[in-house]
Each structure stands twice: as structure tokens, then as C-alpha cells.
Amino acid sequence: MPVVTLHKFGQSFQDEVKPNTNLVVRAGIKQFPYPNLQYECGMGKCAKCAIRVLDGAEHLPPPNWKEKKQLGDRLNEGYRLACQLWIEHDIELQQD
């Protein structure tokens, strides 16, 4: 099972999730990383869920067109849209 580590508010939150998990969907049903993940639309339109991948980015698919549109140059700094990611492997994330 993938282990997700989220750094936020100067704290670290960690839990196991099922493979093929979307963190925004989970937060929407009040499961980890709720209430520590910031998001809004869940559809790649607002960029509120922007998150920096500290470790495990190599397991993610390339950014989709919504991430490219919303994040632009931030993609080069390791940012992704959490609502567009389905987690299959361990990953470490930081949200500003």
C-alpha cells in the first residue's frame, strides 16, 4: 500500500492509502489527508490543490493539460495538482 507523507503547517502527516488513490477525493470524504489538504474544485480548474512533490515524482505520469495550464513554470519546481494525481506508490508532498 502506498504511504503518503504530507508536510504542511510545519508539521508532517502520514498514512497508508489504497493504490490508485486520489487525495482530493479522499479529503472530500474526510479521510486522510483531511483536514490538512487544501483544495477547492477537484477538477483541475482552481490550482488550490497545488502541491510540491518532494519524493516519488518518478512514479507519477507526466502532467496533464490541466496541470500545464494551471501550474505553468511551477511544474519545473516540482508542483502538481493533487486533484489530478492517482497515487500508486509512496510519495512525499509539501503544500505551501
Name the site residues for ligand FES (rule: CB under 6 A).
24, 39-42, 44-49, 70, 81, 83
| Single-letter code of the amino acid located at 35 | P
- CB 39, CB 83: distance < 8 Å: yes
CB nearer to ligand FES: pick between 44 and 56: 44
Rounded to a whole number of angstroms, the minimum distance from the CB of residue 73 to ligand FES is 17
CB nearer to ligand FES: pick between 5 and 38: 38
Rounded to a whole number of angstroms, the minimum distance from the CB of residue 55 to ligand FES is 21
Q: Over the Cα atoms of the chain, what is R_g?
A: 12
CB nearer to ligand FES: pick between 17 and 39: 39
- Tell me how far apart the alpha carbons of residues 83 and 47 are, in angstroms, rounded to a whole number: 9
- Tell me how far apart the alpha carbons of residues 90 and 48 are, in angstroms, rounded to a whole number: 22
CB nearer to ligand FES: pick between 1 and 69: 69
Pairing state between β 91-94 and 3-8: parallel
Rounded to a whole number of angstroms, the minimum distance from the CB of residue 68 to ligand FES is 12
